Amino acid sequence: MKVYNIAVIKGDGIGPEIIDEAIKVLDAVAVNADFELKYDEYLMGGNAYDITGDPLPQETIDGCERADAILFGAIGGEQWDKLPRDKRPESGLLKLRAALGLYANYRPVKVYDELIEASTLKPEVVQGVDLLVMRELTGGIYFGKPREKGEDRAYNTMIYTKEEIVRIAKEAFESAMKRRKKVCSIDKANVLEVSQLWRDTVEEVAKDYPEVALTHMYVDNAAMQLVRDPKQFDVMLTGNIFGDILSDEASMISGSIGLLPSASVGGKVGLYEPIHGSAPDITGQGIANPLATISSASMMLRFALGEVEAADKIDTAIEKVLKEGYRTKDIAAFGASEVCSTTEMGSIIADIVCSHR
Q: Closest Cα partner for 78 from 238, 254, 299, 283?
A: 283
Q: What angle (nearest 5°) sits at the alpha carbon of residue 318, between those of residues 245 and 262?
A: 30
| 220 in active site | yes
* Catalytic residue of the set 130, 248, 312, 351: 248
| 248 in active site | yes
Asked whether the bond before 290 is cis by omega within 30 degrees of 0, the reply is: no
Tell me the C-alpha distance between 268 and 75, whole Å. 23
**Torsion region of 266: left, alpha or beta (phi above 0 gives left; psi -120 to 50 gives alpha):** left
Amino acid at 303: F
* Catalytic residue of the set 50, 81, 220, 229: 220
DSSP annotation string for 280-343:
GGGTTTT----HHHHHHHHHIIIIIS--HHHHHHHHHHHHHHHHTTEE-GGGTTTT-SEE--HH
* Catalytic residue of the set 10, 24, 188, 313: 188
Q: Closest Cα partner for 166 from 221, 215, 108, 207?
A: 207
| 81 in active site | no
Q: Which secondary-structure segment (H or E) carries 186?
A: strand 182-187
User: Which DSSP state fits 142?
Assistant: G
* Catalytic residue of the set 54, 68, 234, 244: 244
* Catalytic residue of the set 142, 160, 209, 326: 142
| 142 in active site | yes
Catalytic residues: 142, 188, 220, 244, 248
